[in-house]
């Protein structure tokens, strides 16, 4: 028997529930609450209420539980795809020495395993973002997943160096398709500012932590299975993500399709490839070889032609006014220079730890984690605490100085240096420096940009990082191998000569990186704005865009902090969520 308190609560619920179903008029006028609550239908209503189900809301809103669950399941699918892309960027670095021994390719070619992916990803990122605006984002997302999985399988089954590099190039191309569509899916799925903030918090956490997980997973797979499993593992992630996308993501076509600037895309990709190839070819043929000079000159001419074509195009792939702005240009330069350094750090220190110091793949992966932790810590502090107080010029300049100091410290490495004394201090300093560069640069790169250009401005951050990393890796690899060869010619005796020569080559590359950071210090002072100037730029931004997403704008720094913390293709923000109104889908 129900008590009076239960009747007071349950009786109005039962009347509302029956009224929603059109049978309230059938209740006799003299019936009491106690009598009504004894009926089976009322008992079901009260039990449902006790379980926390809002029956009236279900009747009037048409079962909102399923769409809510679907949205968060879409987040899981996108997070799995994001984890796959982030893992692949770091997992292969740890496996590279084992892959080189297995396939037998020379030291001069090893950098192509890294640069092929980074170059394809960076140069095609804007194209991939535009594809998501032209076609159904769900189809583009699934196409990127399937292509990434197939290219990973080809790479895992590679029987030659050429086959591995081709697979890595395909991975980068499909990653450039996948990453923007993943972020665009989140923007269009989560339109409520609070839900969008939580969703991007998860997305950013996957991007931030995935790099560290990749270092450990790459070591475990390489050491206990094979380097090939660092590529095969993508098939598992892709299968889960494709199944989830087919089940939970909705397909929609954009109302208006923008035109694709294919000539611009071809010119940019070809020009960047020729520059990277020229730097790489210089290691074996020399800087004065005809093919080296021809590749570098032709690459620069193609990029110059790309600039001319973009000026005349009615639908440019890269609106030039975005990068010609002094503030944004300085931010892109800072990101590109730091990309050169961090790609080189991963490549050269991986070989130093495994080939010179004899570390296992697992141990070498763990050795990088302190730097990842410092990047995350410094990025959060820089974006939340120090950027509003000091401005980007002070922070990025300080980060460049820390990077130069850390690289200078690494030039003292020898074959007998210990990890605790010779490597760890530099990694900690580099992590703090990178964090002070990445977050402020991303914030500054999108400051004061017009709303229609916000996607391009944010995407260029990742593009500059990948392109800078690929060009820098090719250049530093050539410098390191040239120094190694020169050292062996002068000091060719002794059983440790090859190891000492390799270490000497790494230290020369670190010295050049220190010089690049020094150049970054000068450019940061000259180009980047002060705190007052940054505030003026943000105040001059279009009012509708700022007002429409006031809640989301507060959450944007969280995405920016975590988007590029490990300097790898983590987020690729082709669509800037902070620039969209809360109620407007992205695609």
CATH 1.20.1250.20 in the chain, residue ranges: 65-259+325-540+549-575
Residues 500 and 415 sit within 8 Å (Cβ to Cβ): yes
How far is the C-alpha of 455 from the C-alpha of 579, rounded, in Å? 8
Helix, strand and coil percent figures for the chain, each rounded to 5: 80, 0, 20
| The dihedral sign for the CA sequence 179, 181, 185, 191 | positive
Residues 280 and 108 sit within 8 Å (Cβ to Cβ): yes
Position 447 scores a pLDDT of: 64
Question: Which residues, 6+ apart, have CB-to-CB distance to 79 below 8 Å?
Answer: 202, 203, 206
Position 208 scores a pLDDT of: 59
Q: Which fold has domain 65-259+325-540+549-575?
A: Growth Hormone; Chain: A; (1.20.1250)
Looking at beta carbons, which pairs linking 52-61 to residues 24 or more positions away fall under 8 Å?
Answer: 55/13, 55/16, 55/17, 55/20, 56/13, 56/16, 56/17, 56/20, 59/17, 59/20, 59/21, 60/20
Show the low-confidence residues of the chain (pLDDT under 50): 1-26, 33, 36-37, 45-46, 48-66, 543-587
How far is the C-alpha of 559 from the C-alpha of 152, rounded, in Å? 28
Position 66 scores a pLDDT of: 38
How far is the C-alpha of 169 from the C-alpha of 174, rounded, in Å? 9
Closest-CA residue to 350 (of 36, 90, 119, 67): 90
pLDDT, one tens digit per residue, over 443-492 is: 777 666 665 565 566 667 777 777 777 777 778 888 888 888 888 888 76
Q: What is the pTM of this model?
A: 0.68
Cβ neighbour number for residue 379 with a 10 Å cutoff: 29
Question: Which residues, 6+ apart, have CB-to-CB distance to 232 below 8 Å?
Answer: 152, 153, 156
How far is the C-alpha of 82 from the C-alpha of 99, rounded, in Å? 25
**Cα dihedral 525/526/531/536 (nearest 10):** -170
- The terminus-to-terminus CA distance of the chain in angstroms comes to 55
Position 84 scores a pLDDT of: 83
- Segment holding 413, helix H or strand E: none
pLDDT, one tens digit per residue, over 32-88 is: 545 544 555 555 544 544 444 343 333 334 434 335 557 778 888 888 887 888 777
């Amino acid at each position: 028997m129900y008590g009076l308190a239960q009747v007071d609560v349950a009786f109005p619920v039962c009347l509302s529930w029956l009224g929603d179903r059109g049978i309230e008029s059938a209740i006799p006028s003299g019936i009491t609450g106690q009598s009504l609550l004894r009926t089976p239908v009322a008992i079901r209503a009260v039990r449902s209420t006790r379980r926390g189900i809002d029956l009236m809301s279900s009747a009037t809103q048409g079962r909102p539980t399923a769409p809510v669950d679907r949205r968060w399941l879409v987040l899981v699918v996108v997070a799995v795809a994001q984890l796959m892309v982030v893992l692949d960027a770091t997992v292969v670095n740890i496996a590279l020495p084992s892959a080189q021994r297995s396939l037998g390719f020379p030291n001069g070619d090893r950098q192509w395993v890294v640069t092929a992916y980074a170059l394809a990803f960076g140069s095609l990122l804007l194209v991939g973002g535009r594809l998501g605006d032209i076609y159904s984002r769900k189809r583009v997302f699934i196409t990127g997943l399937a292509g990434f999985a197939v290219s990973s399988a080809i790479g895992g089954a590679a029987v030659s160096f050429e086959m591995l590099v081709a697979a890595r190039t395909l991975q980068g191309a499909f990653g450039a398709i996948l990453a923007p569509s993943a972020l665009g899916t989140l923007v269009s799925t989560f339109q409520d500012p609070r839900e969008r903030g939580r969703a991007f918090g998860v997305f950013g956490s996957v991007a931030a932590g995935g790099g560290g997980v990749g270092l450990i997973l790459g070591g475990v797979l390489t050491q206990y299975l094979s380097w090939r499993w660092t590529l095969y593992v993508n098939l598992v992630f892709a299968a889960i993500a494709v199944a989830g996308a087919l089940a939970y993501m909705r397909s929609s076509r954009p109302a208006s399709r923008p035109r694709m600037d294919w000539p611009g895309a071809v010119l940019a990709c070809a020009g960047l490839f020729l520059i990277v190839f020229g730097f790489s070819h210089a290691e074996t043929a020399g800087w004065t070889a005809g093919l080296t000079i021809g590749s570098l000159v032709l690459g620069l001419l193609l990029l110059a032609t790309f600039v001319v074509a973009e000026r005349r195009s009615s639908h440019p792939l890269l609106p030039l006014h975005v990068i010609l702005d002094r503030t944004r240009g300085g931010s892109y330069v800072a990101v590109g220079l730091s990309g050169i350094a961090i790609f080189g750090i991963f490549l050269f220190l991986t070989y130093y730890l495994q080939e010179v110091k004899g570390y296992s793949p697992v141990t070498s992966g763990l050795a990088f984690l302190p730097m990842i932790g410092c990047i995350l810590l410094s990025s959060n502090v820089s974006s939340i605490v120090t950027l509003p107080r000091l401005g980007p010029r002070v922070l990025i300049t300080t980060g460049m100085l820390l990077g130069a100091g850390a690289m200078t410290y690494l030039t003292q490495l020898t074959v007998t240096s210990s990890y605790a004394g010779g490597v760890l201090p530099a990694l900690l300093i580099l992590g703090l420096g990178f964090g002070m560069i990445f977050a402020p640069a991303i914030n500054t790169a999108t400051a004061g940009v017009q709303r229609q250009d916000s996607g391009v401005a944010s995407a260029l951050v990742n593009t500059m990082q990948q392109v800078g990393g690929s060009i820098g890796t090719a250049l530093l690899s050539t410098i390191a191998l040239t120094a190694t060869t020169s050292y062996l010619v002068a000091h060719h005796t002794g059983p440790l000569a090859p190891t000492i020569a390799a270490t000497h080559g790494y230290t020369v590359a670190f010295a050049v990186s220190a010089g690049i950071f020094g150049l970054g210090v000068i450019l940061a002072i000259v180009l980047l704005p002060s705190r007052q100037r940054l505030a003026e730029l943000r105040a001059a931004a279009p009012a509708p865009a700022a007002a429409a997403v006031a809640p989301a704008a507060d959450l944007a720094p969280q995405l920016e902090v975590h988007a590029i913390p490990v300097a790898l293709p983590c987020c690729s923000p082709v669509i800037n969520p902070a620039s969209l109104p809360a109620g407007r889908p992205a695609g």
